[in-house]
């Protein structure tokens, strides 16, 4: 594949793993240290597609990313669900007793906090990206420093995994979406849609629109509200629905377009849940 995929984080990160799962192992990456930078790469056409985490079973919705997709008119063309595994890795020849500091993303440190209670001699240090830490340990030959990162990072940067699966909650999954700036010309094998709408403050307006979706055999899988910045106490609703018949989706689209004050389709794509 000759297309360039923008990811948040570095090679060896979970975003890299998702890009490989979605597009294949030979992807060309554009590494971005923030989601804002990722979106900028899409807008200036230095990348063709982007991989963005959108929600996690522990941390919940990544609300700023909903706003980024909406504000920059990005189109969701696919999704992937990834079980998150945190591994402790360092240079070869070391055990956990040799480790003085562990560097990683704040969320990874938080999700592994219980594990480190057994090792009070280890200092936990917040860093920008899990895989980038692994890269620096390898490049700079950092003895006594370990990273919490995905297994793919250990493979790429030739580190040894000292401890596997050190996360406190073992069933931890993140939903990622694949985005691009262009609207797809055709929809093939689609059965899920992400939409956004605003409603009036009339009593029952949200219930009415949800009932309309149900009548069209839409299965609501996610609803997230975000405040409308310039209008106090007004909210946009971001909704994910699955469907079996595209004609039923089109019927729901026609009804919501009439019922909502503002209506926008963020993407129509194939459900990533296996």
- Give the contacts of 265 (CB within 8 A, at least 6 positions apart): 193, 194, 195, 253
Q: What is the topology classification, in CATH, of domain 4-83+173-180?
A: D-Maltodextrin-Binding Protein; domain 2 (3.40.190)
Q: What average pLDDT does the structure give for the chain? A: 94
Pair 166, 151: CB distance under 8 Å: no
Q: So what's the pLDDT on residue 264?
A: 96
Ordered by start, the domain boundaries in the chain are: 4-83+173-180, 87-163, 192-269
Per-residue pLDDT, averaged over 77-87, amounts to: 96
Q: Which residues pair with 28 in a beta bridge?
A: 4
What is the per-residue pLDDT for 133? 96
**pLDDT value, residue 187:** 83
How many Å apart are CA 131 and CA 159, to the nearest integer? 11
Total Cβ atoms within 10 A of residue 248: 15
- Report the alpha-carbon distance of residue 34 to residue 216 in Å, rounded: 38
Model confidence, pTM: 0.90
Segment 78-86 mean pLDDT: 96
Q: What is the pLDDT of residues 181-228, one digit of tens each?
A: 998 887 888 999 999 999 887 888 999 999 999 999 999 999 999 988
Contacts of 226 (CB under 8 A, 6+ apart): 63, 66, 67, 235, 236, 238
Calculate the CA 92 to chain-centre distance. Answer: 31
pLDDT classification of 6: cutoffs 50, 70, 90: very high
Q: Is the dihedral of CA 122, 127, 130, 132 positive or negative?
A: negative
Q: Which CATH number fits domain 87-163: 3.40.1440.60, 3.30.230.70, 3.20.20.70, 3.40.190.10?
A: 3.40.190.10
Please, which residues have CB within 8 angstroms of residue 240's CB and are 6 or more apart in sequence?
Answer: 192, 193, 194, 195, 220, 221, 222, 223
pLDDT tens for 140-167 read 999 999 999 999 999 999 999 999 999 9
More confident residue, 13 or 273: 13
The reply to whether 192-269 shares the fold of 4-83+173-180 is: no
Which CATH superfamily does the domain covering 192-269 fall into?
A: ACT domain (3.30.70.260)
More confident residue, 194 or 2: 194
Q: Is pLDDT of 74 > 80?
A: yes
Confidence category of residue 1, pLDDT binned at 50, 70, 90 = low
Q: Spell out a b/e string for 79-105, using b for 16 or more CB atoms within 10 Å of the CB, else e.
A: bbbbebbbbbbbbeebebeebeebbbb
């Amino acid at each position: 594949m000759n297309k360039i995929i923008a990811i948040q984080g570095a090679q060896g990160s979970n975003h890299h793993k998702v890009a490989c799962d979605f597009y294949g192992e030979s992807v060309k990456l554009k590494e971005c240290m923030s989601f804002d930078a990722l979106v900028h790469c899409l807008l200036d056409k230095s990348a063709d597609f982007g991989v963005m985490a959108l929600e996690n079973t522990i941390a919940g919705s990544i609300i700023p990313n909903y706003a980024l997709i909406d504000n920059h008119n990005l189109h969701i063309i696919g999704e992937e669900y990834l079980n998150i595994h945190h591994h402790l890795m360092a240079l070869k020849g070391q055990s956990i007793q040799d480790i003085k500091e562990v560097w990683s993303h704040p969320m990874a440190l938080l999700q592994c906090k219980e594990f480190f209670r057994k090792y009070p001699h280890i200092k936990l240090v917040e860093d920008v990206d899990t895989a980038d830490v692994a890269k620096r340990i390898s490049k700079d030959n950092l003895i006594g420093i370990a990273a919490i990162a995905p297994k793919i990072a250990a493979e790429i940067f030739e580190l040894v995994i000292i401890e596997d699966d050190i996360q406190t909650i073992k069933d931890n999954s993140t939903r990622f979406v694949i985005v691009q700036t262009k609207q797809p010309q055709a929809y093939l094998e689609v059965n899920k849609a992400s939409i956004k709408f605003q409603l009036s403050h009339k009593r029952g307006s949200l219930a009415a629109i949800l009932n309309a979706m149900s009548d069209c055999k839409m299965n609501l899988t996610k609803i997230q509200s975000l405040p409308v910045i310039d209008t106090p106490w007004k909210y946009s609703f971001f909704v994910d629905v699955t469907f079996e018949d595209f004609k039923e989706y089109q019927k729901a689209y026609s009804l919501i377009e009439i019922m909502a004050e503002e209506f926008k389709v963020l993407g129509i794509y194939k459900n990533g849940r296996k």
